[in-house]
Amino acid sequence: MSAPKGTRPPNAGRGRPPGAANKVTRDVRAALATFAEGNVQKLQGWLDAVAEKDPGKAADLFIRVLEYHMPKLARTELHGKDGQAGIELRVSFVDVPPR
């Protein structure tokens, strides 16, 4: 029989919070992080070896690896003046005094 309307069961809210990883997911992520940290130096060598034969492929691989460190942002559509697609971007470089 269910609880009367307006009352909460005694164990309500005691589960894992929404979005929290379960134990297996947490352990797998930790194992992958340990593996990745232990192979960072090898990754540099692999990228260097690929870059000798095909620099473009090495750049592509590097970008793919970066996606795991810094996820892609959602795409947005930008509109310039008069509703035309585009945006003006100005970049300026300044000298930064040494610390």
Domain boundaries, position 61: 23-73
Strand partners, 85: 79
In a domain, 94, yes or no: no
How long is the chain?
99
- State residue 2's pLDDT score: 64
The answer to the question of residue 61 being in a domain is yes
> In total, how many domains does the chain have?
1
Number of H helices, E strands in the chain: 3, 0
Residue 82 in any domain: the answer is: no
Residue 10 Cα distances to 5, 6, 7, 15, angstroms: 14, 13, 9, 12
Query: What are the pLDDT digits (tens) for 60-82?
Result: 998 888 877 776 666 666 666 66
Summarised one tens digit per residue, pLDDT across range 35-66 is: 888 888 898 899 999 999 999 999 999 888 88
pTM attached to this predicted model: 0.43
**Looking at the domain assignment, is residue 79 inside a domain?**
no
Residue 1 has pLDDT above 60, yes or no: no
The answer to the question of residue 96 being in a domain is no
Three-state secondary-structure class, residue 12 = coil
Instruction: Say if 31 falls within a structural domain.
Output: yes
